[in-house]
Amino acid sequence: MVAASAPGLNFLIIPPSSTNMKNNKKIALITGSNKGIGLETARQLGKQDITVLIGARDPKKSEAAAKELRQEGLDARALEIDVNQTESIRKAVERVERDFGRLDILINNAGIGLDDQNKKVSEQSLETWRKTFDTNLFGLIATTHAFLPLLRKSEAGRIVNLSSILGSITLHATPGSPIYDFKVMPAYNVSKSAVNAYTVQLAYELKDSKIKVNAAHPGWVKTELGGEGATMELPDGAKTSVALATIGEDGPNGTYVHMGETLPW
């Protein structure tokens, strides 16, 4: 344990390798959180006195992001996890179980968009479809199922699946809707529709438990994936996930939400 100080800040940095890390604070894992919406989500949860685990494939990037948050006085720990690799997920589960004994919040934030926006739906390669689904859907499912035993040990487990308004089948099928003409990322769009469907299925299974499962549309956020035309800043883009991660016992389960408003499936 190392004491650190800076102008206006006094806090303790606990190395990620510490073997005595169990505490009474909520523990949150955010996958793909070394940058962008994931990192901002971790920051906002950390400000609520929640221990945040910065999940990323690259351990150096994970540690750099965790260090950034620790320098802000937050309890952030690096956690190597590649949602496309079963062994990586297994090791991450073992690490969390060893250090904390449970998981209170899982935010499935990791995601990719590989579509060639100059090609039509029928012109996208099968490889693009498969790689997109491997991360956005199958990686999400694998991670969730692996951590479910630890979430069951929580007094109020919360699972937040990062979706998108682009996953709304209703809006895609409705002429005049905000996304009706946006079919340039079909693999991404359909993968998020599948995430929504999985959310409903798992929420039903867990409806009589203390775990709640919801899908979040962060908004069109200024990130690498969001692109140049995005209209929302990062702090606003993280708000929906943070809200769903911290809902009370009377909060929603099996919903598809953006900034407190329910979206059509």
Mean pLDDT of 225-230: 60
Mean pLDDT of 179-204: 97
Q: What confidence score (pLDDT) does residue 235 get?
A: 80
Average pLDDT, the chain: 90
Mean pLDDT of 138-156: 98
pLDDT surpassing 60 at residue 18: no
Active site residues: 188, 192
pLDDT surpassing 90 at residue 154: yes
Model confidence at 219, pLDDT cuts 50, 70, 90, reads confident
Q: Which CATH number is 31's domain given?
A: 3.40.50.720
Q: What confidence score (pLDDT) does residue 232 get?
A: 67
Reference 147, options 33, 264, 28; nearest CA is: 28
Q: Which helix (H) or strand (E) holds 86?
A: helix 86-99
Q: Name the E strands within the chain.
A: 2-6, 9-13, 27-30, 51-56, 76-80, 105-108, 158-162, 212-216, 256-258, 261-262
Count of domains observed in the chain: 1
Mean pLDDT of 81-108: 98
Q: What is the pLDDT of residues 19-36, one digit of tens each?
A: 344 568 999 999 999 999
Model confidence at 8, pLDDT cuts 50, 70, 90, reads very low
Q: What confidence score (pLDDT) does residue 12 get?
A: 39
| Domain carrying residue 216 | 2-262
The conformation of residue 264, written as its DSSP 8-state character, comes to P
Q: What is the pLDDT of residues 36-74, one digit of tens each?
A: 999 999 999 999 999 999 999 999 999 999 999 999 999
Which residues are 56's β-sheet partners? Answer: 80
Reference 144, options 176, 172, 107, 177; nearest CA is: 107
d(CA 45, CA 242): 6
pLDDT surpassing 60 at residue 6: no
